């Protein structure tokens, strides 16, 4: 894990990442990489990795990419999320989610993410829109 990724992980700790088994590999300058070794408990009833797990993996990767550009005093949220499942993943697969900021305005950011297996097959492609929250001063 890069130094920048460690800083982001401390600042934006998400218990669900540990619960699912995701690992933040890197996050800086609007890009991130999150990995997951798929296990039996990630499977759905037909024996492939559940779509919700792939959603979590891509959402985490895009979230870390977005958070990597936020100033210390700011926070952000996902306001829209979309994913296409392109081929199945199974228990035992090493999955890698790579995310990046594609476009942005003053407070809205559009990100994309690709999830690939160790053979570099494209498993899923996701996109989201994130918003920087306004800072409220507590008196």
Answer yes or no: pTM beyond 0.85. Answer: yes
Q: Give the confidence band of 3 by pLDDT, cuts at 50, 70, 90.
A: low
What mean pLDDT, rounded, does the chain reach? 90
- Give the residue from 136, 138, 81 showing the smallest Cα distance to 113: 81
Q: Tell me if residue 61 falls in helix, strand or coil.
A: helix
Q: Which residues contact 61 (CB under 8 A, 6 or more apart)?
A: 32, 33, 34, 97, 98, 99, 113
Which of 47-51, 92-96, 130-134 has the least mean pLDDT? 130-134
Pull the structure tokens for residue 3: 């130094």
pLDDT digits (tens, 9 = 90+) for 10-66: 555 678 888 999 999 999 999 999 999 999 999 999 999 999 999 999 999 999 999
Where in the chain are the domains?
A: 3-132
pLDDT beyond 90 at 88: yes
Burial class (CB in 10 A: 0-12, 13-18, 19+), 99: buried
Task: For domain 3-132, give the CATH number.
Answer: 3.10.129.10
């Amino acid at each position: 894990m890069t130094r920048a990724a460690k800083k982001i992980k401390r600042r934006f700790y998400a218990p669900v990442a540990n619960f699912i088994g995701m690992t933040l590999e890197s996050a800086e300058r609007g890009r991130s990489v999150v990995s997951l070794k798929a296990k039996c408990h990630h499977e759905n009833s037909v024996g492939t990795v559940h779509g919700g797990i792939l959603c979590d993996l891509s959402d985490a990767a895009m979230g870390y990419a977005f958070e990597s550009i936020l100033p210390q005093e700011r926070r952000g949220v996902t306001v829209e999320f979309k994913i296409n499942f392109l081929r199945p993943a199974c228990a035992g697969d090493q999955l890698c989610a790579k995310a990046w900021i594609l476009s942005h305005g003053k407070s809205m950011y559009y990100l994309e993410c690709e999830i690939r297996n160790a053979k570099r097959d494209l498993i899923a492609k996701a996109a989201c829109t994130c918003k920087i929250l306004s800072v409220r001063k507590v008196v």
